Amino acid sequence: MTHSTITSKGQTTLPVHIRKALHLKTGDKILYELQGDSVMIRPHLGALTLFGSLKPSAGKALVPFKQARTKARESWVAAATREGLP
């Protein structure tokens, strides 16, 4: 089992074999998930890693970005209103 020390700023260094196993590089983001009295650390993939991975269905027209953004915003506002958020 490997360990590391927490600095006065609350920072620690992930050991190199952990970084290699998770394919982490400088600047990568990680997620911390509490599981009882333990923590799971895993890479945070983010939305940009999915860019271009989905292809539109055959025969379906692409939706312009402005139209998709407007529709998403309307959906968020409706959900917030239902939940009583400002």
Please name the helix (run of DSSP H) or strand (run of DSSP E) that holds residue 30, with its range, or none. Answer: strand 30-35
pLDDT band of 59, cuts 50, 70, 90: low
Mean pLDDT of the chain: 85
82 located within any domain = no
Which residue segment(s) compose the domain that 6 sits in?
1-46
| Residue 70 tokens, joined | 């407007």
3 located within any domain = yes
pLDDT band of 50, cuts 50, 70, 90: low
CATH at 29: 2.10.260.10
81 located within any domain = no
Q: Are 40 and 33 in contact (CB under 8 A)?
A: yes
User: What is the pTM assigned to this prediction?
Assistant: 0.50
65 located within any domain = no
| Overall domain count for the chain | 1
Percent of the chain past pLDDT 90, that is, above it, reads 41
> Which residue stretches of 1-86 are H helix?
16-21, 65-82
22 located within any domain = yes
State pLDDT tens for residues 8-37: 999 999 999 999 999 899 988 898 999 999
70 located within any domain = no
Measure the CA–CA gap between 13 and 5, rounded to whole angstroms.
Answer: 8
Measure the CA–CA gap between 38 and 47, rounded to whole angstroms.
Answer: 27
